[in-house]
Structure 1
Amino acid sequence: IENLDSYYQNLVRYTLTQEKQPLTRLTTQKDDITVKKAAYLDLKNKFDTLQTAINKLRSSTSTYALKSGRSVSISPLTSGTTVASATVDSSVSAGTYTLSVTTLASAHEVHSAKQTYSNQALGLTGSFVIGGAATRGASITTALPDTVASVSADNASVILPSQKEMGTGSYYVETRNDATNGWQFRIVDADGSAQSVQKGSTAEFTTDWQNITAGSTYDTGRGLRMAFGDSTNLYTAANKATGAVALDYTAKGATIDVTSTMSLVDINSAINAATYGSGNEVLSSIINNTLVLKNASTGLRHVMAASDTTGIVLATLGVTSGGVLNTKVTAKNAVFSVNNMPMERSSNSGLTDVVSGMTLDLASDAEGKSANLVVKTDNTAAQSTINAFLTAFNDLTTYVRGKTSTTKNADETYTRGTLAGEYGIRYVGNELITLMNQDYTNGGIFTNLSQIGITVNSDLSASISNSSALTTALSTNLGDVTKILDAAMEALNNKVATYSGDSGYVKQTIDTYESNITNLNSRIKTINERLSRRETYLVKYYADYQAQMETFMNQSKINSAWYG
């Protein structure tokens, strides 16, 4: 177009400007819809956030979080000591628990004789087994032959990938006749902890109850096999305390092959690199040219086993004498009491079965010491849940008021909010505030949220206006607080659910806007393509016309020159 005379350029531009008017209208329409869509996207996020917060205050939902909280503090009876640490959940009963520790659990520790060098070849040849026996095995000690016909384990037993062999110790096969699934079993250890075993014949592992197929042989995938009785009519339901099938399992130890060129360092490395049954792990180190072997697990259930199988490597090193391990630290259980109730555990840490709802860890200085574990009601989490709801509520209602209002400017003009014409959105903000203020019949002593300290202020924001009332209500009348919140949140949820989520009004509006934008983009593209073709045509048309005029003018000049 730049090659045209300015007169023709103006003609082309004028024509295109007139023909672009539909495009301008469509672009303006698209921009308006895009702005509204952005506002609705914000609305969806705010509605969804509020519904999530509401559900945390409804006792019928899986996300319910308004539960009586607990905190725990430790008060050692001897100054300068730690004695224990603990964590609690909401199920623990408030009160004072007096912990007195007699003995801490210790791990079995075995030493060799001191060697001249740790990094020089020892000249020893042979093999030894450590962390178990040369051959794995299993035997029933308490029988229910009609339920579990037999158990077995040998060196051909399969240990599935990523699994550890069951550790040496006593186990129980608990059985039950489930009303839905029929006869089931699970395996627990001496402490009653369910063991992770193969789920049926799959590659998965589980600690849950599993169905029994009568007459079948079950493989744990961790060394132990069991054969179940042929007739379920003869099965007996029993647990660890009521006569369940009891068995002793012996794990296969790690075989360490020693050659004459190996040093104490090499043997130490081989022991640490070996694979052991669960709880049979051995940690090896060298201190003062002495091989120090220590069970990774504490307690009487985890006594180290080691023996020469060929040659006399362990005997020569002084690890064994007459076939007996050179024990320096005896394995012991933790012995303690809580509120004068004596207890014994194989571990000092992660004790979840001492006080229900509490995880207890005995400190290294606990032996011979006592401490009070004080559990108190703590409503911090409950108040945080309520505050999160109020924040989400205010965020939504404030946004709705801002986007649907019309503001008078200083110059007497008015500015309309992006959603000023969206009456459905405007009304929901007002309705939510009304629901916060109204009374609810719920079977409890509270009928209005203001009675537990939650009110709507003059600026229409909701807040905890009386924190003392809320704290007292949560501490002394949690059940009634739950009832009023259930009633109020149910009403709020019914309203919010209409707008939130992927099937709510807001998402449907967003989808409609997206469809409209797609349609407008298509129409705009079509018009732009037509205008581009139109511009090409006009430029060519006026270029041809301009060329003809130039030819005519040139011919006129020639004629004037010839004929005067």
Structure 2
Amino acid sequence: MRSGQTGYANRLEFTDSAGGLLALLEVTNNALASGTSGGQITRVGTGETDSDLNAQFILDGLTMYRSSNQVSDALDGLTITLKQTGDLVDFSVKPDTDGIKSQINDFIKKYNDILTFIQGKTQVDGDLDIRADFAGDTLLTGLRFGMRSDLARQVTGQPVGAPTLLTEIGIEVNDDGTLSLEDEDKLTEALEENASAVRDLFTGADGFATRLKTRLDAYLGSDGLIDNRVDSIEDRITRLEDQITDFDERMALRENQLREQYAKLQEAIALFQSQQQYLGGFFG
């Protein structure tokens, strides 16, 4: 019989009130710190800090105890695996600059994709006689200018000396509004100096990515600007269809009226022709 989980908090407890159960099982209750081999019981102790059921280690001079050899709450964002006892181990934690660069490049690509898509749908070129489907549409042109404005303004809330503009980490804005990483060394230097500040430049409360998300949510979210525009267009289509139906009905009614008038006119003409023939014969 064993516990499904390790550690003092997950220990199994048995009470031998008669005093003969352990002897019957041929198990001694003498503490054995190294394990249960030989029919002896690991020293349970009286709590988390003196039990051999727990892992014990020293980190930055602080003695810590955990119920598992997988320690994920000692250092933020880092999991430590305890293998065995031994001498002191030195290790350092550095930001994953390559991973952050990859995310920044991905941000640049996706931003450029969105901006290029909008520009293509709103393009007007008189020389080439090009007028895109949404040329002059204030909703999309407003989104394009808003996105460019979001990336042009300084980010607030950054520490003193930390970057507040894209140009300070090597990213330039091209003439068409798209982004490009022109100075990777400047980005690397900024990451090595303060990776958290570079991260917050994008994902902080006033970061570039945060601004763009807020703006896009206003457009793409439920009951957002695009949904409202779609509803407005659908309402307009419905009204136009109703107007077309009413017009068709009026035209059908008018057609019937004209046909009736035409038929009566034909009857009158036939009557006049008959009378003309009669009078011609009378005076002839």
The TM-score normalised by the length of structure 1 is 0.32
Residues 1:439 and 1:518: Cα distance change in structure 2 (over 3 Å): same
1:396 paired residue number: 114
Comparing both structures, which one devotes a greater share of its residues to helix? 2
2:4 paired residue number: 296
1:386-424, Cα deviation, whole Å (9 max, x unpaired) = 44543342222212211111357xxx8723200113245
Do structure 1's residue 460 and structure 2's residue 169 form an aligned pair? no
2:58 paired residue number: 337
1:153-204, Cα deviation, whole Å (9 max, x unpaired) = xxxxxxxxxxxxxxxxxxxxxxxxxxxxxxxxxxxxxxxxxxxxxxxxxxxx
2:231 paired residue number: 511
Task: Report which stretch shifted further, 319-328 or 397-406.
Answer: 319-328
Cα distance in 2 for residues equivalent to 1:414 and 1:492: 36
Cα distance in 1 for residues equivalent to 2:73 and 2:157: 38
Residues 1:497 and 1:360: Cα distance change in structure 2 (over 3 Å): closer
Aligned residues: 228
Q: Equivalent residues in 2 for 1:419-434 (5 A)? A: 419-423=134-138, 425-426=140-141, 428-430=143-145, 432-433=147-148
- Within the candidate set 148, 151, 154, 1:436 is matched to 151
1:308-359, Cα deviation, whole Å (9 max, x unpaired) = 99xxxxx8xxx842477466253333344345655444x3334345456543
Q: Equivalent residues in 2 for 1:363-512 (5 A)? A: 363=83, 366-368=84-86, 371-380=89-98, 382-407=100-125, 414-423=129-138, 425-426=140-141, 428-430=143-145, 432-433=147-148, 436-437=151-152, 444-445=160-161, 446=163, 448-478=165-195, 481=198, 489=208, 496=215, 500=219, 501-502=221-222, 504-512=224-232
One-letter code aligned to 2:3? N
Asked if the contact 2:120/2:132 (under 8 Å) is kept, the reply is yes
Residues 1:471 and 1:416: Cα distance change in structure 2 (over 3 Å): same
C-alpha RMSD over aligned residues: 4.6
Comparing both structures, which one devotes a greater share of its residues to strand? 1
Give the secondary structure class of the aligned counterpart of 2:93: strand
Greater RCO, 1 or 2 (C-alpha within 8 Å, sep 6+): 1
1:305 paired residue number: 14
Asked if the contact 1:348/1:361 (under 8 Å) is kept, the reply is no
Do structure 1's residue 359 and structure 2's residue 79 form an aligned pair? yes
Asked if the contact 1:498/1:505 (under 8 Å) is kept, the reply is no
Identity, in percent, stands at 23
Cα distance in 2 for residues equivalent to 1:373 and 1:308: 50
Asked if the contact 2:147/2:212 (under 8 Å) is kept, the reply is no
Q: Equivalent residues in 2 for 1:114-193 (5 A)? A: none
Give the secondary structure class of the aligned counterpart of 1:506: helix
Residues 1:303 and 1:423: Cα distance change in structure 2 (over 3 Å): closer
Give the secondary structure class of the aligned counterpart of 1:360: strand
Residues 1:355 and 1:482: Cα distance change in structure 2 (over 3 Å): closer
Residues 1:336 and 1:495: Cα distance change in structure 2 (over 3 Å): closer
Residues 1:336 and 1:325: Cα distance change in structure 2 (over 3 Å): same
- Within the candidate set 5, 23, 29, 1:321 is matched to 23
